A and B are shown apart, each in its own frame.
Chain A
Amino acid sequence: MSGPIDQGAWQAIGLTLQLAALTTIILLLLATPVAWWLSQTHSRWRGVVSALVAMPLVLPPTVLGFYLLVLLGPQGWMGQLTQALGLGVLSFSFSGLVFGSVVFSLPFAVQPIQYAFEAIGRRPMEVAATLRARPIDAFFSVALPLAKPGLLTATVLTFSHTVGEFGVALMVGGNIPGQTRVVSTQIYGHVEAMEYTQAHWLAAGMVMFSFLVLLSLTRLKTRVDRVMP
């Protein structure tokens, strides 16, 4: 038996961090415009989009993972599209895992940013308009900086939620070492193989990680609140 944190474990940890970082970056770029739209619109589609965004909160990850697998697989329309584009099939690949994580963590990114935009209200944007800022300029110079606490929460939640995901990772990724085996599925594998020592090391690491993330989030929020009451 090798040491408690063997090469496979390090590989899983590296892959997990890579996945979480990528998912967070993609989601911030994707969620910010969606959150802005949801916070401003009076469209009758608002309720539908809001519900769709929140779906991953209530669906079992296995359900989500199953449909993503069907969608991304060789017979699914996404799978056919990616094949037609020469990207191959995304199921059981790292790219597919990223795609699944983005969908799975969508509400964790959209909702805090949306609430932050709603809390700002319309006034600052009106003020910016009376000072000759065109809407896109006002968005970047006023709305986005004022929504900083929400953006921060979204970043931390998305990152840690992706680190902690299991169902989607197993269904879409397929637990392939070095490609799609993340920490949570690695732990599962250890437990199945009765390798409790290795499972302990990784599981305890996850507990510590989650605690530190939440602690730093509260710390950061108090600091931001002090700067921007």
Chain B
Amino acid sequence: MTHGQTLSVTLSLARPDFSLEVELELPARGITVLFGPSGAGKTTILRCIAGLERARGHVVIGDRCWQDSAKGIFVPTWRRALGYVFQEASLFDHMSVAANLSYGVERVCVPQAQDALSQAVSLLGISHLQGRSTASLSGGERQRVAIARALATQPEILLLDEPLASLDYARKQEVLPWLERMHQELSTPIVYVTHSVEEAKRLADLVVLLENGRVTSQGALEVLPNAG
């Protein structure tokens, strides 16, 4: 999608133990970090953008409407051109690394799908892993494969749900530099959920602070707690 377009998200959800009321206009470029404590609703927002969960409201990316409750529009997840990386390793364990990588590519109808795959593979530095079985990968390697697998489908937006949260410090350093490289070289907009100040500082162009299902502030890095 082109510069100047936005990701417009309005969501409203009421559950006995949790309520969500957000209205977001995000630039469809760079990395937007959704930041907040656990239970703030970060992951729920991401899942609603992806269509994995339902809330009332609308999700519009550029000129494409993925959800508009008022008009009864809800595009199922598999028809949304998005990439999603989950917190815990979510590779298919019954497939090799190579089969995991090509799973999405085989299912999108875009030109040069194979080129996109090899670009994603080299961008994440995982070409040496392709012959391996998923069980032999480290946590960091698994997440890099998962990111490349999502990227290879040439999504209009990439949603990363705490991709480093289940990794220890050393494993995190296996992934962070690659995310920074992605940030520099890629035009795909990214929404990145985290509760880590360090990750937000290193990656964010825009920070959205969330608490109890509400947006408390939004802006550049200085809205982060203890960010100086």
| A contacts, CB < 8 Å to B | 123-124, 126-135, 137-138, 141-142, 145-146, 148, 228-229
Which of B51, B86, B92, B153 interacts with A132 by CB under 8 Å? B153
B44 CB to nearest A CB, Å: 14
Which of A131, A148, A229 interacts with B153 by CB under 8 Å? A131
Q: Known contacts A133-B78, A135-B78, A146-B93; can you find 12 more A-B pairs with CB under 8 A?
A: A123-B88, A126-B52, A129-B52, A130-B50, A130-B83, A131-B107, A132-B79, A132-B108, A133-B103, A134-B78, A138-B78, A229-B135
Q: B83 contacts which chain A residues (CB < 8 A)? A: 130
Name the 4 nearest CB pairs between A and B, nearest first. Answer: A131-B104, A130-B84, A129-B77, A132-B107
Question: What range describes how many residues of B lie at the interface?
Answer: 20 to 34
Q: B88 contacts which chain A residues (CB < 8 A)? A: 123
A123 and B77 alpha carbons, distance in the complex (Å): 13
Which of B90, B94, B104 interacts with A146 by CB under 8 Å? B94
Q: Are A130 and B107 in contact (CB under 8 A)?
A: no
A103 and B110 alpha carbons, distance in the complex (Å): 48
Q: A123 contacts which chain B residues (CB < 8 A)? A: 86, 88, 90
Q: Are B92 and A130 in contact (CB under 8 A)?
A: no
Question: Which residue on chain B has the smallest CB distance to residue A226?
Answer: B135
Could you write out 6 A-B pairs with CB less than 8 Å apart? A130-B52, A130-B150, A131-B103, A131-B107, A133-B107, A141-B103
A126 and B76 alpha carbons, distance in the complex (Å): 11
B153 CB to nearest A CB, Å: 6
A123 and B50 alpha carbons, distance in the complex (Å): 14
A130 and B52 alpha carbons, distance in the complex (Å): 9
Q: Are B90 and A124 in contact (CB under 8 A)?
A: yes
Of B76, B77, B104, B150, chain A has the most CB atoms within 10 Å of the CB of B77
A127 touching B86 in the complex, CB below 8 Å, given contacts A132-B104, A142-B92: yes
Q: Are B92 and A124 in contact (CB under 8 A)?
A: yes
A127 and B50 alpha carbons, distance in the complex (Å): 11
B47 CB to nearest A CB, Å: 9
A145 and B153 alpha carbons, distance in the complex (Å): 23
Q: B79 contacts which chain A residues (CB < 8 A)? A: 132
Q: Are B107 and A129 in contact (CB under 8 A)?
A: no
Chain B 62-97, CB-CB to A under 8 Å as 1, else 0, gives 000000000000001111001110101010111000
